[in-house]
Amino acid sequence: MKIGKKLIISMLALTLGTMLLTYAGLYAIITGLRENIQKLYENIRADAEQTIEEGLYSQDSNSLGVLADMQIEVTDSRLRIVSDAVRQSAEYAEKLYASPAEYSDSSFSPVHLAEAPDTLSARYMFSAGIEETDELHEELKLISNMEELFAPIMKYNSRLLDNLYVGTASGIFYQYTDNNVFLENYVVTQRHWYTNSTSSPDEIMWKETEIDSYGRPCITASLAVKDPEGNLVAVVAADVNFEQMMSNVIGSGLGETGTTFVLGATRDLVAYSSFMKDVNEHNGLYNTFEDHFADPESVLKKIDACAFGDGEAFQAELDGKEIYMTARVIPSTGWLLCTAINAEEVTEPIGKVTAQSDQLFADARTEMTAEFKALILNAILAIVAIALTVAVIEYFISRTISKPIIKLTDTVKNTGEGDFDKKSDIDTRDEIGDLARGFNKMQDDLKLYTENLKSVTAEKERISAELNVATQIQADMLPRIFPAFPQKKEIDLFASMTPAKEVGGDFYDFFLIDDDHLALVIADVSGKGVPAALFMVISKTLIKNRAMRGGSPAQILADVNQQLCEGNDADMFVTCWLGICDLSTGVMTAASAGHEFPAVCGSDRHFELLKDKHGFVLAGMEKSRYRDYEIQIERGGSIFVYTDGVPEAMNVNSEMFGTGRMLESLNRNPDKKTDVFIREVSSAVKEFTGEAPQFDDMTMVGMTWYGKERGEA
């Protein structure tokens, strides 16, 4: 072979070999780039799925908690109304038995149940087998005075209560209702509501759901009535309008699959989403907790841990489906309210986002593969076409293809490490340039996504900051500088408030009406959070403004009640205790609107509860009347008032602190100054509750009176 031919063949082989090696290296670089992009996408996809899943779970967990709290507030408020109605009725019945002569001229005349109309009215019947005597009819005439209290209670709570009734030990059944079903074999003293209260005569007893004598699902609250000698003479009870009350709770679930159910003290189902359907189909209670959960014992433990522990949502299996669930305690009854949502509904958005991102990446990968194939084909054609000028072409190709791909690879690595600002400067008009521009756009999208996350986080921090400001504003509204009146040496005042949330509904106040009269106020608004705080501001302002115009505590509370009832569409109410102390004599004139009993320390230096006469809560009913009473504070004696957050504070075992432990704390050293014994009560509550969360605001006010002589000295 001629040398020239060999040279041509050698140069051609060298050129082709060089080109093949060059393009082989280029192919390896492109393949590596594709793998890096694939890994980057998989990492971003996994992080996005985790972030979205955690965000959705957190959001739905919070939503479940908020919904449960709202349902608890509605349910507990309604059950407390029932409890208050029963307690007031029982107290009135005790008055009747204590002073029958005062009520002997009653004008109330109930009709027999067998003749009663289908309208809201009083009616009666005697237990089967009871002999009707003159004494029995006299007792019926006395009991008929209950209509004076039953009528307004049923008028304002007809959507909540089915009926109010009282059964006597002598066999009288007196009822205020619109149900005229007459049961011939009815025996009062054998009914569950009567026997429950006779076993625990000093507390309101709740009977969980059952089918009553009229064939209706029913929840009943009852309380025993005693005569002046302490003998049980009657039981007052009220039936809750079960279907109306439960529809407000069970009917409000989260999302499309949300559901709610209520468990009783024995962890039986009180109500659930298909409760009324079961009652109608089976003519009685049918489903049990075990019918809905595959592992009921484990689920009950989780429910108790959630309700009495951290309140965090948990996963379980309900009717064969995975759910997220949370639980809360209904304070009035100790029952549990559980709210749940299907896990599929929570995670459904993740699947949609993943499918969309997979489709977008598949389209991009298909387009990228087509561009890679075109690039390889062009390279092969270029090898054949420019074989004689391969050195120049090789250099050009290496400069125009290899270098941009290496740059793009470096950019991909930087992006994978979190640097979204360092972009590729490749500006060629070929497929590599398109790929580089597409990747730059992906960097911008990722950066925007990150900034959006930061914006959401900042918004949450802003809301938290506003709540902190609201907390400070509320705290600033309450007098916190002690001693409050340095010039008044005859008294020593101290108060404290610990809200259960950022802002609370409790409040206290004390102010001089004139130079010789000091007003003390403590109150508890229904509910918690921002709505309760707003109602607290209105109530506090109205009470102080009205008190400064003069009048007795009963007159002040009556006027403030009228103002609060106007436009009270939110159905909120306030318990309040108001006392006005004559600083020269130590005589405290006070009135109570459904508030806790005050504790008074006399000359024996021993605190005891003063069981005063309660009026109805403020904003609960128009034209409510209140009763003044006097407390003579001995020289050096003290008075201590508080909200229900103190005695009802609960530990991890669901035990309440109680007024007994409160009095024990006050009496450890009754000679201590006012601020000291208040702090000792607060410390005792914290020591008792331990790690248990605070469910209610805790407010205390104390005053010690030393007499005018000390003030003049």
pLDDT above 80: residue 657: yes
pTM beyond 0.95: no
Buried b (16+ CB within 10 A) or exposed e, 523-562: bbbbbbbbbbbbbbebbbebbbebbeeeebbbbbbbbbbe
Peptide bond into 647 cis (omega under 30): no
d(CA 622, CA 139): 32
Beta carbons within 10 angstroms of residue 199's beta carbon: 8
Both 542 and 671 in one domain: the answer is yes
For residue range 29-68, list pLDDT tens digits in order. 777 776 777 777 677 666 655 665 555 456 556 777 777 7
The helix (H) or strand (E) run that includes residue 29 is helix 3-98
What is the DSSP secondary structure assignment for residue 399, as one 8-state letter?
Answer: I
The DSSP code sequence of 224-249 is: EEE-TTS-EEEEEEEEE-HHHHHHHH
Both 507 and 436 in one domain: the answer is no
Examine residue 418 and state whether it is found in any structural domain, yes or no: yes
Examine residue 87 and state whether it is found in any structural domain, yes or no: no
Q: What are phi and psi of 306, to 5 degrees?
A: -70, -45
Both 445 and 483 in one domain: the answer is no
Both 374 and 440 in one domain: the answer is yes
Examine residue 318 and state whether it is found in any structural domain, yes or no: no
Domain's final residue, options 405, 432, 451: 451
Q: Which amino acid is at 176?
A: Y
Both 445 and 565 in one domain: the answer is no
3-state secondary structure at position 215: coil
What are the tokens at 79? 């059950």
Both 508 and 383 in one domain: the answer is no
What are the tokens at 643? 């909200």
Domain interval for residue 12? 3-57+347-451
pLDDT of residue 393: 59
Q: ∠ CA 53-465-60 to the nearest 5 degrees?
A: 25
Both 521 and 421 in one domain: the answer is no
127 close to 186: Cβ distance less than 8 angstroms: yes
pLDDT of residue 51: 61
Domain's final residue, options 451, 468, 496: 451
Number of domains comprising the chain: 2
pLDDT of residue 669: 79
Lowest-confidence segment of 22-31, 200-209, 269-278, 289-298 by average pLDDT: 269-278
Domain containing 688 — which CATH number?
A: 3.60.40.10
Examine residue 169 and state whether it is found in any structural domain, yes or no: no
Both 560 and 702 in one domain: the answer is yes
Compute and round to an integer the Cα radius of gyration of the chain.
38
Mean pLDDT of 200-214: 79
Domain's final residue, options 451, 467, 495: 451
Both 404 and 495 in one domain: the answer is no
Most confident stretch, 65-69, 424-428, 547-551: 547-551
596 close to 644: Cβ distance less than 8 angstroms: yes
Examine residue 568 and state whether it is found in any structural domain, yes or no: yes
Mean pLDDT of 151-162: 85
For residue range 663-705, list pLDDT tens digits in order. 999 998 777 889 999 999 999 999 999 999 888 889 999 999 9
d(CA 535, CA 547): 18
Helix residue spans in 386-430 (DSSP H): 390-397, 403-416
d(CA 283, CA 484): 65
pLDDT above 60: residue 396: no
Examine residue 560 and state whether it is found in any structural domain, yes or no: yes
Both 587 and 702 in one domain: the answer is yes
pLDDT of residue 164: 93
pLDDT of residue 713: 41
Both 426 and 560 in one domain: the answer is no
Both 435 and 543 in one domain: the answer is no
Beta carbons within 10 angstroms of residue 564's beta carbon: 22
Examine residue 269 and state whether it is found in any structural domain, yes or no: no
d(CA 615, CA 69): 29
Higher pLDDT, 39 or 620: 620
Q: Which amino acid is at 210?
A: E
Examine residue 571 and state whether it is found in any structural domain, yes or no: yes
